[in-house]
Structure 1
Amino acid sequence: REISGELGIAIGFLVPPILVPNVEDMDELANHIRVMFYITAGVSTVLFILVITVFQEQPDIPPTQAQAAARLIPAESSSYMKSILCLLRNRAFVLLILSYGLNVGSFYAVSTLLNRMIIMCYPGQEVAAGRIGLTIVIAGMVGSLICGVWLDRSKTYKQTTLLVYVMSLAGMLIYAFTLDRVHLWLVFITAGTLGFFMTGYLPLGFEFAVELTYPESEGTSSGLLNCSAQVFGIIFTICQGKIIDDFGTLAGNLFLCAFLLLGTIITALIKSDLRRQRANQLANTAVSIEHILK
């Protein structure tokens, strides 16, 4: 899921600068934008039709133990609002909602304002700005894969999440102080490093949330994390954009660094209550005992 989303973001960075070049004629510019919107509408329509005609409501076999447990609960006794209220009473998960929103919201702000920052520091480099965005997302896809594989093998949810958060903060600091150093190739490296850790954090946040909220549905916890990211993303984009206009790119990026530092502290305060792991261990123990008795 995270990889497919990042692939879409990568296309979003790469294609628009090609379809909408920087031209002075407003009519020509409007025509390029119109073509881009028509293409977007066409692709979205095809995907909408595929979702309606091809996707099934749910898989025949539950993909996780949480989903299997959820199917055993009678529909009349389950409630989406009850699930949300239950999750919001989970202190560790609430802290994760805040830290996740701060990290991913910062990534959204950087991605949204990337073109403006690159143009301010390197005038006339619109295409390069798109390629830098593509570099961020591709590096993030690699980071997501590596972090996901490591987490699956090590089961060190809090430690890995905290480490990647710290590296995201470090990457943001390096990016902030090297953005306007005249060397565009350096921006590709620092932005790629930033994308590797900030996007690599996405699957960690989702998996850590599932551990903290089991047996609640992963869809509910993921939805709350996404909601937090969207809210912080909107706030950070507006605030950082204003700061960049008034004080420059360095001040705008340091603004995000301050909140990433706050998110790192919040992540360190999360109690590592791995409920899903305990449930898996109990299930495996029960199966082993039953096998021995047979």
Structure 2
Amino acid sequence: MMGVAVGFILPPLLVRASGTTDEIATDLQLMFNIYAAFFSVLFVFILLFFKAAPPTPPSAAADLGSTLDSNFLLSIKKLMTNRNFILLIISYGINVGVFLAISTLLNAVILTHYPGAHLDAGRIGLVFILSGMAGSVVCGVILDKTHRFKETTLSVYIASIVGMLIFTFTLDCGYIGVVYLSSILLGFFMTAYLAIGYEMASEVTYPEPEGTTSGILNAVVQPFGISITLVYEYVLGAADDRAANLTVVGVLCAGAAFCAAISSDLRRQNAQNKNNESLD
């Protein structure tokens, strides 16, 4: 998420909004060279220092799961016949798809109401992501304290819809500071859901490998993101940003319905509790 946040703020700083084609091309080349250098160093660090697994399992349930025989194709079959996981895939894909659509077209939406505010558009994207990182931590603490995964997941989903509505109807207020605030509220819940979705997937699919469930979620959000972005862009061009935003609000409502249909089958928590009881 920090990388996404940097991706919002860095391009407006490095690439001038106006200039000749050659000047913009030079700026883009500089930006790409910086990215290439950074990722090359990061790649070397991963090769040298990244470990295959932590020295100890993160939980008793994970320790139990690591002792089970894992067959990838069998695991995929079980996941694709897991009703809760399928519902989570759809609801997660919709939420993240809307997030990707807004992230992709945020610059165009902001500049429609605040011409010349290229740097502000990047900063709004920055606070959108940073507030979501804070939301992920807060929601993680709530999950640790309450273990109410479905209730927390659904509450965050509904709060994302409310945040999207507030963002929609404050966008044209004429005060860009208000847009900053509404973006912080929207990002706090919508971006936080990205992390919560992984935890919910681990709960309803245990003891299937978390790497597999996370990989499937990451793969599935791509077609959702492309589709919702194309729809958002079409409505934005055919009508206006309010119509486009209300369209994705409707999509989020459908996602919330799928989320509400997930039953509270917390398999990982049950395994954790059983293991603790056996130790006692």
| Normalised TM-score (structure 2) | 0.96
| Equivalent residue letter for 2:117 | Q
Equivalent positions of 1:130-141 (< 5 A) are: 130-141=122-133
Distance 2:139 2:68 in 1: 33
Distance 2:181 2:162 in 1: 14
Aligned residues: percent identity? 44
Question: Could you list the per-position Cα deviations for residues 141-177 of structure 1 after superposition, in whole angstroms to 9, with x for gaps in the alignment?
Answer: 1111101111111101000111110000011111112
- Note closer, same or farther for the CA distance 1:13–1:117 as it changes in structure 2 (3 Å cut): same
Are 1:176 and 2:168 an aligned pair? Answer: yes
| Equivalent residue letter for 2:194 | L
- Partner of 2:145 in structure 1? 153
Structure 2 gaps, min length 5 = none
| Equivalent residue letter for 1:62 | P
Equivalent positions of 1:1-294 (< 5 A) are: 6-65=1-60, 67-74=62-69, 78-288=70-280
Structure 1 gaps, min length 5 = 1-5, 289-294
C-alpha contact (below 8 Å) 1:212/1:276 kept by paired residues: yes
C-alpha contact (below 8 Å) 1:70/1:215 kept by paired residues: yes
Which moves more between the two structures, 175-184 or 155-164?
A: 175-184
Q: Which runs of 4+ in 1 moved over 3 A?
A: 64-67
Q: Give the CA RMSD over aligned residues.
A: 1.3
Distance 1:255 1:80 in 2: 38
Distance 1:264 1:71 in 2: 33
C-alpha contact (below 8 Å) 1:67/1:217 kept by paired residues: no
Local SS of the residue matching 1:124: coil
- What is the total number of aligned residue pairs between the two structures? 280
- Note closer, same or farther for the CA distance 1:197–1:114 as it changes in structure 2 (3 Å cut): same
Question: Could you list the per-position Cα deviations for residues 170-224 of structure 1 after superposition, in whole angstroms to 9, with x for gaps in the alignment?
Answer: 1111111221222211111111100001011122111111110111111111111
C-alpha contact (below 8 Å) 1:66/1:218 kept by paired residues: no
| Equivalent residue letter for 2:9 | L
Local SS of the residue matching 1:56: coil
Post-superposition shift, 1:237? 1.1
Post-superposition shift, 1:281? 1.3
Local SS of the residue matching 2:269: helix
C-alpha contact (below 8 Å) 1:66/1:216 kept by paired residues: no
Distance 1:277 1:70 in 2: 12
| Equivalent residue letter for 1:8 | G
Distance 1:228 1:176 in 2: 27
Post-superposition shift, 1:65? 4.1
| Equivalent residue letter for 1:218 | E
Post-superposition shift, 1:41? 0.5
